[in-house]
Chains A and B, each alone.
Chain A
Amino acid sequence: MIAARHVLLSPLTRLILLSVVGLALLLAMALVAMQPATGWTWSPAEWRPVADVHPAVWVSLGTGLLAWLISAWVWALKPAAPAAVLFAASGLATLTFCFASFAPRIALPMEPGVVAWIWRINMLGASAFGVIMTCLFLIYPSRLRFWKPLAAAVVVVFGLWTLLRTFGPFQDLAEVQRITTFEMVAIVMAVVWQVRASADDPRLRAIALWLGASTLLGAGAFIVTVAAPLTFGFDPLVLENYAFSFFLVIYVGLAVGLMRYRLFDLGAWAYRLVFYASAALALIVLDIALASLLALDPGEALGVSLIVVAVAYLPLRDILWRRMVRRRPADADGLFHLVLDAALKPTAQERATGWSNLLRDHFNPLEMVEIPEQIAEAEIGGEGLVLKTPGVAGAPAFRLMHANNGRSLFTPRDAGVVTHLVRLMQQAEASRSAYDRGVSEERLRIARDIHDNIGAQLMRALHSTKPDRKDAMIRDTLADLRDVINNAQSPALPLDAVLADLRAETADRLEPHGVSLRWSLQADAGLVLTPSTVHALRSVIREAASNTIKHAGATRLGVSLQITPHRVEVVVEDDGSGFDIETVKLGQGLANMKARVEGVGGAFALSRGETGAQLQAHFPHQAAAS
C-alpha cells in the first residue's frame, strides 16, 4: 500500500510514466505510418522505410511528443498547481492534434469513417489547446479579475462552437482554422491583460511577458502561416504539419523561462529531474533494444545471449539502477564527521551554512527553503513529500521537499535521522563552546600571569638605575617568559623541574667565579608549585648567588631547601668574608627579595653564619599534589 503510494507520488516516477506513455503513443503512431499500402502487417521487412514516410509525419510526431514531455515534466513536479495542470493539459492537446494531423500521409488503406474520426480528434485537440491556453492566461501568472466567469465563457463558447462543428448536422471539419484563429485572439487579449495587471510586480510581469511572448510567437506563427490563410480562403504558406513545430517555441520558451523566472515556482533544480528521467528512460530503451535483439536471434545464439544477459547485463543494469535510484546508505561515521565539521566552524554563519549543506547532501531534496516558524522536532508532511527540520547552530528551520532528487519520499526514519543529527549538532556545539570557554580562560590566565610577573619585573628593571640590576631583572623576566611558553598548558610547575633548572643555572653562574655549589633538597615527592612560589624561590636563590659573586670572595655556596606541601624554607650560606650585620644596609636586590618574600606572607633574615653570610627565608605556599 505504502509502496503503491510511493510510486504514484514520486515526481520521477510520474515523469517516467508519462514519458513512457508518450513514447508508446509515438511508437504506435510510427507503426501505423510505416504500414505498407498493401495492408496491415507485423513483419518489419514489409514496412515502409523511414525515408519513404513523408517528413511531415515525423515532424508532427516529434512536435507532439516534445510538447507532451515538457508539460508532463512541469506537472510531475507540481501535480496540484492549477496552472501546471492547465499547462500539462495543453501539452496533451498538442500531442493529440499533432498525432492526428497526418491521415493523408498514411499509406495504409483506411475506411472513410476512420479518417473522419482522426480529423475529429485533430479538431478537438486543436480547439482544446486554444481554450486551455486562454484559461491558463486568465490565472497565470496572476489571477485576473472575473477569471471564473471569463474562463467559463471561453470554455462554453469555444467548446459549443467546436462540438457543433465536429459532430451532428452542422459538422464542418474545416471550421477548425477559424475556431483556432479566434481562440488565438482570446489568448492575445488575456496575455495583454496579464501584462497590464502585473505592472507593479516586476517578477509577475517578466513571467507574463516571457510566457506570453513565447505563446504568441509559437501559436501566432502557426495562425499567420496556416490558419489565417485557410480562414480567408487562401492556400497555407507552409505545410500545416511543419507549422506545428512553431508550437514548440511555447514549450522550449517555458523550459528556458523555468530557469530564468522560476515559472510555476519551479527553480533550476527542476532540470535535475530531467537528467534522472533521461537516464531512467535510457535504461528502459536499452532493455527494449536488448529484448528485441534477443527475439531476433536465431535459435542457436539464443542460449548464448541469455547467458550473457544473465551474467553480465542484468547485474550491471541492477547496479546502475541502484546507484541512480537508491539513496546512499546513511553512514553513521561519515555523518558524525560532517556534523563535527559543521559544528566546529569558527563563525555562526559558517556553522549555519555547514548545517544546510549537510541536510542538502544527505537528503538531496529538489527544493529546500528556510521557514520562519520554529519547530522542535523534525516532522514529515504531505505524506512524505515534505520534511521540516528544526533550526540548529544558528541555522533556521528548513522545509525540504522531494527527497533524493524527487525519487523518493521522506520516511519516519529520515525524521529520526534529523533528530539524531540535531542532537549531535547541539552536543558538538556545546562542546565547542565549552572548549572556547576553556581557551579564553586559559588566555586570561596567561595574560594575568604576564601582567603580574613579567610586566611588574620589566617595570622594576626600567626604573632601576643600576645597569647590572637591570640586567639581572631582565634575565629573570626572560626566564619567566620561557616558563610561560614551555608550560603554557598548565599554570603549575613540577617542583623537580623547577629546582633542577635553578640548580644548573646557579652552578653555571658561580663557576666562572670559582665558586662551587652545594645543593641539598628535602621535598615531598611529586609536589607541584604555583607560579608565585616559583618566582619567590627563584628570586631568593638568584639574588643570594649574585650577592655571593659580587661581595663575598667566597669559594663555596650552600643552598638547602626544605619544601613541604604548605611551607618553603630556604637557607643559603657562603664561606666568604661576610659582613658586619650591624652596619650593612640592605642593597637594592636584597630589599627586593625581602619585599617579595614578605609579600607572600613569609619571613626573611640575613645573618652572619659560621663561616660567612647566611640568608634564611621561609614562606607559606599551596602546593598541589601532581
Chain B
Amino acid sequence: MISILFVEDIAETRAWLREAVEAAFPGPHIREAMNVREAIFAMKGHSFDIAIVDLGLPDGSGTEVISAFSASRPETTVVVATVMGDDASVVAALSQGAQGYLLKDSPFDVFVRQLTLIEQGLPALSPSIARRIVEHFRKTVISQDESADLTPRERDVLGLIGRGLRNADTALALGLSESTVASHIKSIYAKLGISSRAEAALQAARLGLMKS
C-alpha cells in the first residue's frame, strides 16, 4: 500500500488531489496537511512514499517542507505541485531536493498519468522548466566541482525536452530507452541541488562568510 502526503491549503484542490491519487494507486494511505507546520509534523511521525507539496502555503513556502524532507526523510519522493508557481520557483524547489513536479491545472487524466510515472521513478520535465534549468547551469558554472556540471548526454536530453519533445520522443531521438532518459532527468535534478549549494557556498566564500 502506497502512502502519500499532500501539502495543500485549498480545500477543493485537496479533494481533487485525493481523487487523482485514488485513481492512480489502488487503496492508498493518504495524509493531508494544510500548511508547513502540519506537513513537518506529519513528516516526523510517518515515512511516506510520495509527498506532493504546494509552494505557496499560508505559513511559509513549500520549499521549507522540501528541505525538511531531503534532510530527514530522503527515502520519500518529494514532488512540487503548482499552478501559478513561476518557472524560477519550480527550479528553486527542484534544487532544494524535489524530484519532480506536477501542474495542478492539468486535465485529470494527464495528472493521474504523471503521478503513476513519478511513482515508477520516471519524472517528467516540461519544456519551459528544461530551458530554465539549462539557463541555471549556464549561470552557475563551477569549474572546481565537475560532478556538479551536466554531462553532454544530459545536455542533449535537456535540449530536446526544451524543444517540446517528451521523454519517449527524446529517448527515440537519442537512441536510448525511456528509463535511461528518466534517470538522466533524475540526475539533472540532483545536480541542480549540488550546483545550487556549491554556488551558494561560493557566493558565501566570496562574501567572506566562510573561513576556508
User: What does the 1/0 interface line of A485-520 toward B look like (CB < 8 Å)?
Assistant: 110000000001101111110011101110000010
Question: Which residue of chain B lies nearest to A477 when distances are taken between CB atoms in the complex?
Answer: B105
Q: Is the CB of A519 within 8 A of B164?
A: yes
In the complex, whether B126 has a CB less than 8 A from a CB of chain A is: yes
User: What does the 1/0 interface line of B82-122 toward A look like (CB < 8 Å)?
Assistant: 01101100000000000000000111011011100000000
In the complex, whether B46 has a CB less than 8 A from a CB of chain A is: no
CB-based A-B contact count at 8 angstroms: 58
Q: Is the CB of A504 within 8 A of B105?
A: no
In the complex, whether B127 has a CB less than 8 A from a CB of chain A is: yes
In the complex, what distance in Å separates the CA atom of A471 from the CA atom of B84? 16
In the complex, whether A478 has a CB less than 8 A from a CB of chain B is: yes
Q: Is the CB of A501 within 8 A of B164?
A: yes
**Interfacial residues of chain A within 438-484, with CB under 8 A of chain B in the complex:** 471, 474-475, 478-479, 481-482
> B90 CB to closest chain A CB, in angstroms?
10
> B21 CB to closest chain A CB, in angstroms?
16
User: What does the 1/0 interface line of A134-166 toward B look like (CB < 8 Å)?
Assistant: 000000000000000000000000000000000
Q: Is the CB of B113 within 8 A of A500?
A: no
Contacts of B87 in A (CB 8 A): 486
User: What does the 1/0 interface line of A597-623 toward B look like (CB < 8 Å)?
Assistant: 000000000000000000000000000
In the complex, whether B165 has a CB less than 8 A from a CB of chain A is: yes
Question: Which residue of chain B lies nearest to A512 when distances are taken between CB atoms in the complex?
Answer: B109
Q: Is the CB of A499 within 8 A of B164?
A: yes
Q: Is the CB of A478 within 8 A of B105?
A: yes
User: What does the 1/0 interface line of B43-76 toward A look like (CB < 8 Å)?
Assistant: 0000000000000000000000000000000000
Q: Is the CB of A500 within 8 A of B164?
A: yes
Q: Is the CB of B126 within 8 A of A504?
A: yes
Question: Which residue of chain A lies nearest to B124 when distances are taken between CB atoms in the complex?
Answer: A508
Q: How large is the interface on B (under 10, 10 to 19, 20 to 34, 35 or more residues)?
A: 20 to 34
> A481 CB to closest chain B CB, in angstroms?
6
Q: Is the CB of A481 within 8 A of B86?
A: no
Contacts of B107 in A (CB 8 A): 471, 475, 509
Dominant SS among interface residues on chain A: helix
Contacts of A485 in B (CB 8 A): 84, 86
Q: Is the CB of B166 within 8 A of A481?
A: no
Q: Is the CB of A500 within 8 A of B166?
A: no
Question: Which residue of chain A lies nearest to B169 when distances are taken between CB atoms in the complex?
Answer: A507
* A479 and B105 contact, Cβ closer than 8 Å, known pairs A497-B127, A501-B128: yes
In the complex, whether B193 has a CB less than 8 A from a CB of chain A is: no
In the complex, whether B131 has a CB less than 8 A from a CB of chain A is: yes
Question: Which residue of chain B lies nearest to A506 when distances are taken between CB atoms in the complex?
Answer: B164
Contacts of A511 in B (CB 8 A): 110, 113
> B16 CB to closest chain A CB, in angstroms?
11
In the complex, whether B162 has a CB less than 8 A from a CB of chain A is: yes
* A486 and B86 contact, Cβ closer than 8 Å, known pairs A479-B105, A500-B127, A507-B166: yes
In the complex, what distance in Å separates the CA atom of A12 from the CA atom of B176? 86
* A512 and B110 contact, Cβ closer than 8 Å, known pairs A481-B84, A485-B86: yes
> B20 CB to closest chain A CB, in angstroms?
13
Of the listed residues B84, B110, B127, B163, the one surrounded by the most CB atoms of chain A closer than 10 A to its CB is B127
> B56 CB to closest chain A CB, in angstroms?
12
Q: Is the CB of A504 within 8 A of B86?
A: no
Question: Which residue of chain A lies nearest to B130 when distances are taken between CB atoms in the complex?
Answer: A500
Q: Is the CB of A504 within 8 A of B84?
A: no
Question: Which residue of chain A lies nearest to B114 when distances are taken between CB atoms in the complex?
Answer: A508
Q: Is the CB of A475 within 8 A of B164?
A: no
Q: Is the CB of A508 within 8 A of B166?
A: yes
Question: Which residue of chain A lies nearest to B112 when distances are taken between CB atoms in the complex?
Answer: A512
Contacts of A509 in B (CB 8 A): 107, 110
13 CB contacts below 8 A, A to B, read A478-B84, A482-B84, A485-B84, A485-B86, A500-B127, A500-B128, A500-B163, A501-B126, A501-B128, A504-B165, A512-B110, A512-B112, A519-B164
Q: Which 6 residue pairs across A and B have the least CB separation, nearest first?
A: A503-B164, A500-B164, A500-B127, A512-B109, A478-B105, A485-B86
